Amino acid sequence: MLLIKNGQVVLEDEVVHADIYIEDGLIKEIGKNLIKDEQVDVIDATGQYILPGLVDLNCELYDPGREHNEDLESLTEAAFAGGYTSVGVMPSTIPVIDNKVIVEYINNRVKLETKLDVLLYGQLSKGGEGRELSEIGEMIKGGIVAVTDGNVAFEDKNFFNMALRYCEMFDLPIILSGVEKHLKETAMLHMGHFAAISGLKSMPPQSEELLFARACMYTRYKDNKVHLTKVTNEDTVYEMKFTKQRQKSITTDCTAHHLYFVDVDIASFDTRFKVIPPLREKKDVDALIMGLREGTIDCIVSGHTPQSKRRKECEFEQASFGASTIETTFLASYSKLCVENGFTITHLAKLLSTTPAKILNLDDRGKLETGLLADIVILDPNKDTYINQKKFYSKAKYSMFDKMTLNGSIEKVIKRGEVVFSSQNNE
Amino acid sequence: MSKIDLISTEFFKKKDIYKILEVAETMRILLKGSSRNAPHLTGKTVLLYFPVNDTKTKLEFQLASEFLSASVVDVTTHESQLKNYQSNYDMANLIEQMRGNVVVSSTAIAGSARHLSSKISASVINAGDGYNENPSQCFDTLFLIKRYKGDIENLKVCLIGDVLHSNVCKSYIFALNELGAKVSLSAPSTLLPVGFEALPVEIHYQPEEAIKDADAIICLPLLDDFDEYKSYLPSINEYKKGYKIDQELLEYAKDDAIVIVNGEPKRGIEVSSRVDIINQTLVGEMTNNCIAVKMALLYLLT
């Protein structure tokens, strides 16, 4: 039993000054001047925003397989520190999540070992190779919430078409990526000025647009619920703006670091900025913010891709793609969108929590309503947070935002009525 | 005291470039004398890290160090080991423990010199890192141009050839612009990286336009392995028809224009057999020039 008093409660369309009473892990009551005389823990949230717990659509879980990058425990701590209470994870484990056994194994471990809701995505093809369909129906019985091509688009058009056709049978979102496999293997930068100077191989922005347009075309007359993840490019945003008018079922997202950084930030060959899809240009950043404002881009994801330090402490060309972002995405989005660009806090809650929950068909979270899960983030807008990568909970202790000061401070994170992160403990 | 590196020519100041060229001139005179030994680097160690097999540059640096009485250590690992990210990381540690004063590095990885420099306390000379930059070779050429043309300011320098696979091209553009020269560039569109438009350089697909009134023409050589060009060019024959530097093309340049090629040119493809070129190879007087520049770099960095 928990009572949060005097907070600015961010509801779907408005912000109200109210108290929230939590019982049995659910939101029992939202109202003014709630008085509970029993033994209730009280959190005073005067002057602070109370938002629904964040839901991530694109995060990497390397457990089992590459636990040195990130394991379940460190991901849980990192996610809570970043305000995330539900995390959808890509099937980047070893073995790949492409059958029921591995789904059940990970789900059992999640149940036993962590309080975080780790939502598994199934790989559309066996081994992620894009040749044979995996057992999608079986995996759904095991408990996956979405299927995905796993951060690399399928090369084989016929297989892609067939996979989409097969998924029509299930009411499951298909999460698709805009990165070409052969580009991921050879190129590492946005095709632009910095790529020309550095002499590194680069990815043309058109390739992303092409892949996303391809996904839209193939699903035009199908009943698929397609979600295109990590839009980075200006042209893609325009393309999606028109496509979405025709195809209402398509949703898109972008990451917070693509709203902040551009390719010239890599100028000193800093491997922290080696991410996929690559950082683009200023015009692309502007287009993304416009897309978020107009609703062309539906949500923001963390794109958390932890890599071990050794994989990052080498030359740019040899470093792995990856960014440790789950702990900074919320504050970065708040600073960039709400403080700099005048987005409302309700809009931010939609981008980070309500819409992602809706995309994954999770109707028990993503909003602050009575009867829903008591997943809550308390944000203090009057404080600032100095990002220190060494203090990260994630095993990947490097960040693009290192030594930057972001607006806002995550005061408390509550998962199913239990305080799982508190800023006081952090200091 | 903070160390000085030579990694890129991008932020070089005019007076620094001229200083290097002046010292190189002194070194050249020194090399002409009967005794070639000078005591400038006595007690210092120069480490040569050349995973890329660039014998000419390596030899030049080796000779330059020995003429300046430095001890030279070759720390080159085999190129195949470099593919493993660990060995570069370990190499930096090793170099740091050896406590050398200068490391000359030439690798196939863009940004490797910068990375090395961030890991060690010795100065780093970049003798080519992948397709990024090659300032040491750039100074060789600047020295040549200065010797033949007197002053570099207000000259027009034209670069012709494979821009995409050239690391020194970017070093030229930065340095020549800082010195007040005008730079023009000509290459087939597929061998010209996207994003070059933002650099202070005139770009022409037609070499005749680029070469117009040029004082110096620098040939950016093709890779030795022509198979690399299969997806970039229809054939070497077609390249040759458009971009070979021949007498006909030189009609457009100034009468006293010089043509500079690094290494042995592919005669008949890059440069016509009849054209006189100033060849920066290990033959004749040019050897002295290149070594003199390298001596100047080593001396000024320690």
Q: What is the pLDDT of residues A137-150, one digit of tens each?
A: 999 999 999 999 98
Could you tell me the pLDDT band of residue B282, with boundaries at 50, 70 and 90?
Answer: very low
Interface contact flag, A200 B195, Cβ < 8 Å: no
The pLDDT tens digits of the residues spanning B194-228 come to: 888 888 999 999 999 999 999 999 999 898 888 88
Q: Which of B85, B194, B198 sits opposite A318 (nearest CB)?
A: B85
Contacts for B282 with CB less than 8 Å, ≥ 6 apart: B56, B59, B60, B290
Q: Is A362 left (phi over 0), alpha (psi -120 to 50) or beta?
A: beta
Give the pLDDT band of residue B279 (cuts 50, 70, 90).
low
**Chain A residue whose CA is closest to B173:** A197
Task: Report the pLDDT averaged over residues A349-359.
Answer: 95
Which chain A residues contact residue B198 at CB under 8 A? 193, 196
Query: Chains A, B: CB contacts under 8 A, how many?
Result: 74
Res A262: pLDDT: 93
Quick one: average pLDDT of B225-247?
89
- Check whether B86 has a pLDDT greater than 60: no
Contact by Cβ (8 Å): B174, B142: no
- Tell me the ipTM for this assembly: 0.81
Percent with pLDDT over 90 in chain B: 40
pLDDT of residue A242: 93
**Angstrom distance (rounded) from CA B43 to CA B38:** 12
Counting residues of chain B whose pLDDT is more than 70, the rounded percentage is 93
**Residue A124 exposed, middle or buried by CB count within 10 Å (0-12, 13-18, 19+):** buried
Q: What is the pLDDT of residue B79?
A: 58
Check if the beta carbon of residue B24 is closer than 8 Å to that of residue B143: yes
What is the residue whose two structure tokens read 């779907």? A12
pLDDT at B280 over 70: no
B31-51, pLDDT tens digit by residue? 888 888 889 889 899 988 888
Q: What is the pLDDT of residues A22-45, one digit of tens each?
A: 999 999 999 988 877 778 889 999
| Degrees, nearest 5: CA angle A241-A243-A246 | 115
pLDDT at B82: 53
CB-based contact B112 A193, cutoff 8 Å? no
- Nearby residues of B36 by Cβ (< 8 Å), 6 or more positions away: B30, B67
Q: Per-residue pLDDT tens for A283-319?
A: 999 999 999 999 999 999 999 999 988 888 888 888 8
Q: What is the pLDDT of residues A48-102, one digit of tens each?
A: 999 999 999 999 989 888 899 999 999 999 999 999 999 999 998 999 999 999 9
CA distance A292 to chain B (A): 28
Hey, what are B140's tokens?
């060789």
What's the gap in Å between the CA of B201 and the closest CA on chain A?
13
A35: its two tokens: 């008085």
DSSP-derived 3-state class of residue B97: helix
The total of other beta-carbon atoms located within 10 Å of residue A25's CB is 14
> For residues B92 and B104, which has the higher predicted lDDT (pLDDT)?
B104
Q: Nearest chain A residue to B88 by CA: give it.
A: A314
pLDDT at B107: 86
